[in-house]
């Protein structure tokens, strides 16, 4: 299965290059995170995917978010799981279409894209080497059943959040680390004094983390 996507090729093509797969947030599109592709390490393919659910006017979602009469938010878990598996299949397709190292796939997700990045990596750790999860949270409901038994020895996660985030409360983001620690997943968690967005320092920190 393929998703509409943008590609920045690496500056130097080796036999197989690593890839950074960018997953945008709810109501955004593939152009959003791709805007900092030129700042990302040159040896990577940088591929930015468009979510499958069209919200009109150039905005897309990985899954619907609905509100009830009391303004409580509900995620469409069926759509979320569908997108999880869609992206897993898309990664397989990318390794066929491009000279990508299937052993070196990094997901970089923002908001809804970060929530999905956690779900994909914990459901299919054999496909994912690293995750950068910005302004998201870990939602066990959209991870494959029985994920706790997976082998996470090759997985590393960099998570970050704005301490003033009004879209996804920072308390939700903080819940991921104890879960990841318990699973033995190497992880780093950082907070920045911003709202629901990527602070420049956040960008430099995850970039340095990738370069290490």
User: Whats the size of the chain, residue-wise?
Assistant: 212
Q: Is the pLDDT of residue 62 over 90?
A: yes
Mean per-residue pLDDT over the chain, rounded: 94
Question: Is the pLDDT at 13 greater than 90, yes or no?
Answer: no
Number of domains making up the chain: 1
Please check whether residue 176 is in contact with residue 189, taking contact to mean a CB–CB distance below 8 angstroms.
yes
**pTM score, two decimals?**
0.95
The string of pLDDT tens digits covering residues 65-88 is: 877 676 677 788 999 999 999 999
pLDDT of res. 71: 65
User: Quick one: pLDDT band at residue 170, thresholds 50, 70, 90?
Assistant: very high
For the stretch 113-165, pLDDT in tens is 999 999 999 999 999 999 999 999 999 999 999 999 999 999 999 999 999 99
Tell me: pLDDT of 1 over 70: no
Distance (Å, whole) CA 163 – CA 22: 23
69 Cβ partners below 8 Å, 6+ apart? none
Q: In this structure, what token pair is assigned to residue 65?
A: 């978010």
Q: Give the CATH number for residue 129.
A: 3.40.50.1820
Smallest CA-to-CA distance from 136 within 31, 210, 62, 58 is with 62
**According to the model, what pLDDT value does residue 115 have?**
97
Tally: H helices and E strands in the chain: 6, 11
Contact 6, 38 (CB under 8 A): no
Work out the average pLDDT over 187-202. 95
- Residue 164: what pLDDT? 96
* H/E run at residue 122: helix 112-123
Q: 145: helix, coil or strand?
A: coil
User: What residues make up the domain containing 99?
Assistant: 5-211
pLDDT tens readout for residues 89-111: 999 999 999 999 999 999 999 99
Residue 212 has a pLDDT of 87
């Amino acid at each position: 299965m393929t998703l509409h996507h943008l590609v920045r090729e690496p500056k130097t093509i080796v036999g197989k290059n690593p890839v950074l797969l960018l997953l945008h947030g709810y109501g955004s599109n593939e152009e959003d995170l791709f805007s900092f592709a030129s700042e990302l390490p040159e040896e990577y393919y940088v591929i930015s995917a468009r979510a499958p659910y069209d919200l009109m006017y150039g905005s897309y979602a990985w899954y619907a978010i609905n509100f009830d009469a009391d303004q409580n938010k509900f995620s469409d878990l069926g759509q979320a799981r569908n997108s999880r598996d869609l992206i897993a299949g898309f990664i397989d397709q990318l390794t066929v279409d491009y000279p990508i190292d299937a052993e070196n796939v990094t997901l970089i997700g923002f908001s809804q894209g970060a929530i999905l990045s956690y779900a994909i990596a914990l459901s299919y750790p054999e496909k994912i080497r690293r995750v950068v999860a910005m302004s998201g949270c870990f939602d066990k409901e959209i991870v494959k059943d029985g994920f706790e038994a997976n082998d996470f020895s090759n997985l590393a996660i960099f998570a970050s959040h704005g301490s003033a985030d009004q879209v996804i409360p920072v308390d939700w983001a903080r819940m991921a680390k104890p879960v990841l620690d318990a699973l033995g997943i190497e992880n780093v968690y950082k907070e920045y004094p911003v709202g629901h967005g990527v602070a420049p320092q956040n960008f430099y920190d995850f970039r340095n983390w990738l370069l290490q």
